[in-house]
Amino acid sequence: MYSNFFIHRCKNFLHKMMIKLITLSSIVAVAAIGSGLITYKLHSVPKKPELNLQKWWGIGEKPKEEDTSIKIFNIDFNDTMIHDLKQRLKNHRPFTKSLEGIQSEYGINTKYLDKIITYWLDKYDFKKRAELLNRYSHYKTRIQGLDIHFIRETPKARGLKVLPLLLLHGWPSSSKEFDKIIPMLTSKRNKYNFVFEVIAADLPGFGFSEGTNKPGLNPVQIGIIMRNLMKRLGFDKFYLQAGDWGSQCATHMVTMFPDEILGFHTNMPFSSRPVSAVKMLLGSLAPDVAVDSRYVDRIYPLKKLFSYLLKESGYFHIQATKPDTIGVALSDSPAGLAAYIVEKMGVVSNRDQLNTPHGGIENLHLDDVLDTITIVWTNNCIVTSSRIYAEAFAWPEVNIIHNIPTPVPTAAINFKYEVLYQPDWILRDKFPNLVSSNTLDLGGHFAALQTPQVLVDDIFSATAKFLDFNAKKNR
């Protein structure tokens, strides 16, 4: 009897164990399948969307015959504008004093802002600054219904390869951002057998380029306009250098037109693919493995990174949702416009200096900063330029193209105070042919203004690698 009872108990035990093993195996199988599906989904590449490469962004309907002429343009800070601006600056209401013991932690230090306004009124030489900007050759041409402003400078050196290079800026800037590096890029350099013909364009709605009255002009569409500009100038193949929103537009260009772009250099490298976001989160489990130990603090701990982004991205959220509302205030008050732009340019030039009255802006030359603000004020383009934030998140084509890797050889330079940092193993999700990557312990977001020599050195070095890469590919 006991033996039968024992056998019966054993059978029950084995039966239950089999059920548990089957259940566990099912869970493991489901988990494996789920993990495989997630991995497949994360690494899957969507099909490129069909886009109208000649979409009309101008006022009214597209005419039967377009104006394709290229006209010489001259920058003019005219007396009427200067007089009106100075009257508004003189008549601004007294600024609310900063709190006791607070420098720039709450935003612009108003005592320091007073100094900037006084300089803008009394020492900033509008005519001389316009003259300096006009030392380059400026043009306008109508692309897809919008007057696009650009600088075009041809090198004087002989006996060298001349490579066309398109420079694209971000917010709140314009082609003015590149005026220090243009002569460096167009001049002969030892050990290099090439030099650049530079085209520095104002994005539509920025600087002296016309904005649109139609919704949908997102970074993808801007990339198409910039590509069509280069075709208008006779360049079927060219190189790209860009930062900030210009880098986003350029990233879409190298994805949409990989056969037309010979190399992409960026000082704001970033992969927006979903798999990259997952990798960034997984990297937080072992930061010293995920990132070179010298640069761990640029991305991890994520709590610190997200805290910084939350604190400094309030303007981003406003401009990505309701840019026209803040635009009313900024278009009406030059003092307010200066406060808004100076504060943002300062923090991304050195965010460790919020405990100073200048909040980081003294890493840039004040005349350069005021050139940027004056151009925005002159052209009343704070609204049209800020709308890029809203348009970038409103259209599915942007996310689709973000998730498509590009074969174009790419070079990244990471300056210390850039807004975001990604290590190479994440950047390669978007840029598998990352031929050059340098991470520096200096510099900030506006590299062409803050560290022009360092930026140009890296552009030349990267381009030599682009040439090698393309030569091997074409063998």
Could you report how far apart the first and last alpha carbons of the chain are, in Å?
A: 85
Residues assigned a catalytic role: 244, 389, 445
Average of per-residue pLDDT across 113-125:
98
> Which pLDDT score is estimated for 474?
85
Q: What is the DSSP letter of 214?
A: S
Count Cβ neighbours within 10 Å for each residue of 224-256 and write b for 16 or more, e otherwise.
bbbbbbbebbebeebbbbbbbbbbbbbbbbbbb
Say if residues 382 and 315 touch (Cβ distance below 8 Å).
no
Cα–Cα distance, 294 to 361 (Å, whole number):
26
DSSP, residue by residue, 47-66? PPPP--TT---SSSSPPSS-
The tokens describing 41, both together, are 């989904």
> Which pLDDT score is estimated for 38?
59
Count Cβ neighbours within 10 Å for each residue of 454-467 and write b for 16 or more, e otherwise.
bbbebbbbbbbebb
96: amino acid identity, one letter:
T
Cα–Cα distance, 189 to 113 (Å, whole number):
41
3-state class (DSSP) for residue 186: coil
Residue 92, C-beta contacts closer than 8 angstroms, at least 6 positions apart = 117, 333, 334, 335
- pLDDT-derived band of residue 45, with 50, 70 and 90 as boundaries? very high
**Over the stretch 358-401, which tens digit does the pLDDT of each residue have?**
999 999 999 999 999 999 999 999 999 999 999 999 999 999 99
Is the residue at 53 inside a domain? no
Average of per-residue pLDDT across 269-292:
95
Average of per-residue pLDDT across 308-322:
95
Give the number of other CB atoms < 10 A from CB of residue 328.
11
Is the residue at 78 inside a domain? no
- Which of 369, 73, 16 lies closest to 210, judged by CA? 73
> Which pLDDT score is estimated for 24?
53
Give the predicted TM-score (pTM) of the model: 0.91
**Over the stretch 400-421, which tens digit does the pLDDT of each residue have?**
999 999 999 999 999 999 999 9
Is the residue at 110 inside a domain? yes
Is the residue at 325 inside a domain? yes
Is the residue at 68 inside a domain? no
Cα–Cα distance, 457 to 463 (Å, whole number):
10
Whether the link from the prior residue into 172 is cis, omega within 30° of 0, is yes
Is the residue at 9 inside a domain? no
Tell me what the pLDDT averaged over the chain comes to. Answer: 93
Phi, then psi, of 147 in degrees rounded to 5: -75, 115
The tokens describing 282, both together, are 């997984």
**Over the stretch 420-471, which tens digit does the pLDDT of each residue have?**
999 999 999 999 999 999 999 999 999 999 999 999 999 999 999 999 999 9
Out of 36-50, 71-85, 229-243, 316-330, pick the least confident: 36-50
Is the residue at 296 inside a domain? yes
Q: What is the DSSP letter of 298?
A: G
CATH classification at residue 347: 3.40.50.1820
Number of domains in the chain: 1
Is the residue at 2 inside a domain? no
Residue 356 sits in which domain range? 88-473
